[in-house]
């Protein structure tokens, strides 16, 4: 399942994030890539170890992790640390699949879902589309600043070379409490149904109670604590 979310960041958030990012240092993005991906990664990654870096990470983390639709779709168990990536003219990221596990110790997680949160206006750079290989098709994504795309970490994907300007994004990964993608999609459908019915039915109505019970029991049956 691929899902795009609008206005994860509002205009104030975007401007605050850009102002903070403008003061950060940068390093070769290939340093954080694993295996085959290292050979095809041509971008820069922000150094977020400073106090300013921590501010950026906290601002974006709060907006992403609390988004209700993302939570319903991903059923998150754990989020990775966020990365800020900048791709300038001539840069890009060739076809690759994300590492199945990231981090170490208590922060180690299985990558079920990947997300890209766009920080640059799409008309400020040429190229830089995110291309995601799905069953029988290629999905091309280039969203307005503040919008996010969520997609399976199992998919081959790439960032098309940037031909002018600079592409600035925040990327991260999610370990879902429901590892089975098909079950996770059913849970998301039921969550959407519950949300849609909440304006029409009392939360204590038999229909809403059975729906809520079914969602909980699906997650209980197929989920991890």
How is 161-173 classified by DSSP, letter by letter? PEEEEEEEEEEEE
Q: What count of residues does the chain have?
A: 225
Q: How many CB atoms lie within 10 A of CB 8?
A: 23
Q: Kindly indicate the confidence band of residue 225, based on its pLDDT and cuts at 50, 70 and 90.
A: confident
Nearest residue to 12 via CA among 145, 170, 144, 142: 145
Best CA proximity match to 151, nearest among 169, 168, 171: 171
For 170-202, what is each residue's pLDDT tens digit?
A: 999 999 999 999 999 999 999 999 999 999 999
Instruction: Specify the pTM.
Output: 0.95
Strands laid side by side in the 41-42 sheet: 41-42, 92-96, 157-159, 130-134, 137-141
- Residue 210 pLDDT: 98
**Smallest Cα–Cα separation from 120: which of 8, 11, 224, 18?**
18
Question: Is 80 exceeded by the pLDDT of residue 14?
Answer: yes
The answer, yes or no, to whether residue 147 has pLDDT greater than 80, is yes
Q: What is the mean pLDDT of residues 69-80?
A: 98
How many CB atoms sit inside 10 A of residue 92's CB? 19
Q: What percent of the chain has pLDDT over 70?
A: 99
In terms of DSSP H, where are the helices of the chain? 11-21, 51-65, 68-74, 181-197, 206-222
Average pLDDT, the chain: 96
Of the candidate ranges 45-49, 103-107, 129-133, 135-139, the one whose mean pLDDT is the lowest? 103-107
Cβ atoms 99, 124 nearer than 8 A? no
* Cα angle 69-20-59, degrees, rounded to a multiple of 5: 25
% of the chain residues with pLDDT over 90: 92
Confidence grade of residue 106 (pLDDT, cut at 50, 70, 90): confident
pLDDT at 184: 98
How confident is the model over 27-68, as pLDDT tens digits? 998 877 766 778 899 999 999 999 999 999 999 999 999 999
* CA atoms within 13 Å, Cβ hemisphere of 18: 16
In this structure, the strands spanning 148-152 and 3-5 are: antiparallel
- The set of residues, in sequence order, having a beta carbon less than 8 Å from that of 213 and lying 6+ positions away, is none
């Amino acid at each position: 399942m691929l899902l795009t979310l609008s206005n994860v960041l509002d205009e104030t958030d975007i401007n605050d994030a850009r102002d903070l990012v403008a003061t950060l240092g940068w390093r070769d993005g290939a340093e954080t890539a694993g295996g085959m991906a290292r050979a095809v990664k041509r971008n820069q990654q922000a150094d977020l170890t400073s106090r300013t870096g921590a501010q950026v990470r906290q601002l974006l983390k709060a907006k992403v992790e609390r988004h209700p639709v993302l939570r319903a779709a991903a059923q998150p168990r754990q989020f990775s640390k966020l990365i800020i990536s900048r791709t300038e003219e001539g840069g890009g990221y060739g076809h690759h699949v994300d590492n199945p596990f990231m981090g170490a110790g208590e922060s180690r997680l299985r990558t079920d879902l990947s997300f890209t949160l766009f920080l640059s206006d799409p008309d400020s750079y040429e190229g830089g589309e995110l291309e995601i290989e799905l069953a029988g098709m290629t999905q091309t994504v280039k969203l307005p600043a503040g919008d996010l795309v969520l997609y399976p970490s199992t998919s081959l994907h790439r960032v098309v070379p940037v031909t002018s300007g600079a592409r600035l994004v925040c990327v991260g990964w999610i370990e879902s409490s429901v590892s089975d993608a098909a079950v996770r999609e059913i849970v998301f459908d039921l969550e959407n149904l519950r949300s849609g019915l909440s304006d029409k039915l009392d939360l204590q109505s038999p229909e809403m109670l059975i729906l809520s019970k079914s969602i909980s029991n699906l997650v209980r049956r197929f989920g991890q604590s």
